[in-house]
Amino acid sequence: MAIDTSREWWIGDGGEDIPAYLRAFSADQYPVRRTGLAACRACGSDRFAVRIDDEEGCAERSCAACGQTVLMFDSADYVEDASFSDAACPCGGETFNVGGGFALRDDGEVHWVYVGLRCTRDGVLGCYADWKIDYSPTSHLFDRV
């Protein structure tokens, strides 16, 4: 896939562009070293509505096809204190392909996570939330995109 960087917002052809976008987005912060793309475990769809609380470090995706809801990364640990907002693209779209990015410590444990979204209406890519992970072990987070 190719990312169009010539406009105000980066545009991706498909969800497969999210990892490259997150690597570029994080390059000057905590660089993404590992990524994952979300697919609904119930029906296989790759389109989701997303709710975010960037202050608490909490993200939830709901399958646009079947409605199954998943708390991403370690969000289950913080959901009680979360005040979610619906993710929305600048175009007004609210359905996304979803990806996760992981910055790793030298020992391979996760140091930082990123929630990357691609609007299914116009392809705009964005990082809608990111937060620090300050505990170990963290390998379970790779399966919770």
The answer for residues whose C-beta is within 8 angstroms of residue 133's C-beta and 6 or more apart is 73, 74, 109, 110, 111, 112, 113, 141
Per the DSSP assignment, residues forming a β-bridge with 62 are 49, 69
The per-residue pLDDT for range 4-54, each reduced to its tens digit, is 999 999 999 999 999 999 999 999 999 999 999 999 999 999 999 999 998
Which value, in Å, is the radius of gyration of the alpha carbons in the chain? 14
Question: Which of 105, 110, 112 lies closest to 25 in space, CA to CA?
Answer: 112
The per-residue pLDDT for range 72-98, each reduced to its tens digit, is 999 999 999 999 999 999 999 999 999
pTM of the model: 0.95
| Chain center to CA of 64 | 16
